[in-house]
Amino acid sequence: MKKIPLLTLMALTFFAACKKDNMSGKTGPNSSKKMDTLQGAITADRSLDPSKDYFLKGQVYVKNNATLTIPAGITVYAQVNASRSFKSALIITQGSKININGTIDKPVVFTSAATNKQPGDWGAIVILGKAPTNSATGNNAAGLPISADTQYGGNVPNDNSGSITYLRLEYTGGLNPPAEDEWSIDKVSGLAMLSVGSGTKVDNVMVKYSNDDSFQWVGGTVNATHLISYNAGDDDFDFDMGYQGNLQFLIGYRAHASSQALRANGVESYNDSVPTTNTPLTRPVISNMTIIGPQGVDAATTNVWMGVYMRKGTRLAIRNSLDAEYSKGAFMDCPRTRPVILADDDAEFRHNLVETDTLDRAFAWDQGHIVAVPDPQMTTFMTNSVNMDSVLNASADMKLTAMYSSSGAPDLTPASGSPALQGADFSGTDFSNSFFVQTSYRGAIGTNNWAAQSAWADWK
């Protein structure tokens, strides 16, 4: 028998593996469209072909100040790799841009290429910008190889990384191990925006079945509207390392607990892991958010934690929002943030409707430990005539049309007589600026249900 030299055999094996993974010319799993492959580095401007779908092979970098444009109706299928280090991801490096031009009827979708799709099949879309962060050193995207292509941060608050409209991401979070301690490091997941500047547009994005966070902001100043997190493994909306931006019309919705996270929150905001008073201080400004946890009182402790968790030196401003069905509480602070919010020190939580599985933990604090301790003083403060938060006895008292639905999509539209139909307040510098739409209602949805089941907002 003729022997094949070892190096030749290795080369043939490598070639066969590459050939097997290349989907160019084949049809997509759910359409008759031909497939093309995205791999390696994109170093010049490129616009994808709307007559095709695409296979995302491994970690693909858009670099060299290139712009990647993705027209409406394209589906990108991410290669599934068992090793977390090699999970597929699309990374937009500093100076480069991504333009995703979906529509409600023809969204751009990034999903798993697996037949049996699972949370964590692939990593994330990671956008790396030049806007400020409060960390002066070591600014590389966590979970990705340390290189110039994974750096973020700078001094360009209005940095422009492109435009995203009508995008849906599915089955992300693969870089994150089970029970990841995000208090020390939090790897990129879902739509990860690191030092992304205010020149970038982000509007109408849904992230569903992420293994970890759905949306991450690490530093930066980018604003966003109409975001949906559905059944995230960890936090719906995660803010770190000096993010300062405006957000409106947000939905965080989970129908069940997850086996992935240690502590899954609707909103988690912290300044840094020490914590320090390094500036810029993390301070998201949020209006018209709806945060919903799993239905019913949890008889046993689960990893579904807080509707809003304000910790480790952060500031925040949240108004005109709904927060319900979280097992540990609606709002919790810590020894570093409790004095800040009690003193109105650039932090507020006002004009919100809150409910929780355990009524006396509607407002709680962690006392520096991983516990949720009822805080009567904070409850009195939050419901006073200045802050005007209201604590409801049951989530049904919010009177949403269908907070939970056996047929799929919830209907979070306020029904007749709902306290969410009125009570919004946009006074003051933060909320009277031109970014915010001045609504009379509280929560993400008024009379127009922009999150109803559609080609884009897919609740299946």
Phi-psi region of 328 (alpha: psi -120 to 50; beta: other; left: phi over 0): alpha
What is the residue whose two structure tokens read 């790799």? 81
pLDDT, position 319: 98
Cα distances (Å, whole numbers) of residue 170 to 34, 72, 123, 183, 458: 21, 17, 10, 25, 10
pLDDT, position 384: 98
pTM of the model as a whole? 0.93
Tens of pLDDT, residue by residue over 192-210, are 999 999 999 999 999 999 9
pLDDT, position 302: 58
**The token pair that represents 306 in the structure block:** 């807080």
H or E, element range at 380: helix 376-382
pLDDT, position 15: 34
State in Å, rounded, how far the first CA of the chain is from the last one: 55
**The token pair that represents 131 in the structure block:** 């806007």
Cα distances (Å, whole numbers) of residue 261 to 189, 232, 235, 347, 349: 13, 9, 9, 27, 26
pLDDT in tens, the chain (460 residues): 333 343 333 333 333 333 345 566 666 676 689 999 999 999 999 999 999 999 999 999 999 999 999 999 999 999 999 898 899 999 999 999 999 999 999 999 999 999 999 999 999 999 999 999 998 777 999 999 999 999 999 999 999 999 999 999 999 999 987 766 655 567 999 999 999 999 999 999 999 999 999 999 999 999 999 999 999 999 999 999 999 999 999 999 998 777 666 678 999 999 888 888 899 999 999 999 999 998 876 545 556 778 999 988 899 999 999 999 998 889 999 989 999 999 999 999 999 999 998 889 999 998 877 788 999 999 999 999 999 999 999 999 999 999 998 878 999 999 999 999 999 999 999 999 999 999 999 999 999 999 999 999 999 9
The burial of 242, by beta-carbon neighbours within 10 Å (0-12 exposed, 13-18 middle, 19 or more buried), is given as: buried
Query: What is the spatial distance between Cα 81 and Cα 91, in angstroms, rounded to a whole number?
Result: 17
pLDDT, position 273: 80
pLDDT, position 17: 35
pLDDT, position 242: 95
pLDDT, position 349: 98
Tens of pLDDT, residue by residue over 151-165, are 999 999 999 999 999
pLDDT, position 13: 35
If you count them, how many residues does the chain have?
460
pLDDT, position 289: 98
Query: What is the spatial distance between Cα 315 and Cα 191, in angstroms, rounded to a whole number?
Result: 22
**Contact (CB, 8 A) for 227 and 251:** yes
pLDDT, position 261: 60
